[in-house]
Amino acid sequence: MRRAILAAALAVVGAATAAELDGRVVNVHDGDTLTILSARQQIRVRLADIDAPELGQGFGRASRESLAALCAGQQSAVTPTATDRYGRTVARVSCRSTDAATHQVASGMAWVFTRYAPTGSPLYSLQGAAKAERRGLWSAPQPVPPWEWRRAQKQ
């Protein structure tokens, strides 16, 4: 049953890969992942171009709270860009007329995910400003990017 629901949700997302989806944010998992309810389907969405601290990592819970303050229970506009290896829709998400990834990076609650973000992305300058002003995770003496933290946890 669960696989059938997941397959149906992926079919909806797959059919709308370039089309915008509208839905209410029903869950914020962490600082870069949320679930929306669109056309009676729950769709797990990973914010494009950013990587937020994991929940067990410094600033992980603060990052989730930051995204929740912006998006939890709100109508959202979701523009899918890809599907990741976990089956999540990778997308640009806007809540309250604010781009969620931009909000997270500007607040110091996420890194620009250099592996995926385009070179000329305005996110880089927002991250530089957050770092210079020691906002959020940049207030820590030596913040560890989540991709490095995850790699260390595997070892």
Structural domains present in the chain: 2-154 (2.40.50.90)
Residue 24 tokens read as 């209410």
pLDDT value of residue 18: 55
Whether 10 shows a pLDDT value over 60: the answer reads no
Do 32 and 51 touch, CB atoms closer than 8 A? Answer: yes
Do 78 and 45 touch, CB atoms closer than 8 A? Answer: yes
Q: Is 150 a catalytic residue?
A: no
Rounded average pLDDT over 140-152: 95
Residue 103 tokens read as 């909000």
The catalytic residue among 44, 54, 64, 92 is: 54
Whether 13 shows a pLDDT value over 50: the answer reads no
The catalytic residue among 44, 64, 88, 92 is: 88
* Radius of gyration of the CA atoms of the chain, in A: 15
Whether 144 shows a pLDDT value over 90: the answer reads yes
Residue with tokens 């601290």: 53
The catalytic residue among 44, 46, 64, 92 is: 46
Whether 4 shows a pLDDT value over 70: the answer reads no
What is the average pLDDT score of the chain? 90
Q: Is 40 a catalytic residue?
A: no
- Name the H helices within the chain: 2-15, 60-71, 100-106, 123-132, 146-154
pLDDT in tens, 81-115: 999 999 999 999 999 999 999 999 999 999 999 99
- Name the H helices within 55-145: 60-71, 100-106, 123-132
Q: What is the pTM of this model?
A: 0.86
Cα separation, 120 vs 27, in Å, equals: 31
pLDDT value of residue 117: 95
Q: Is 92 a catalytic residue?
A: no
Residue 65 tokens read as 């709270």
Residue 104 tokens read as 């997270």
Whether 17 shows a pLDDT value over 70: the answer reads no
Helix (H) or strand (E) holding 78: strand 75-83
Whether 64 shows a pLDDT value over 60: the answer reads yes
Query: How many CA atoms, within 13 angstroms, populate the side-chain half-sphere of residue 86?
Result: 8
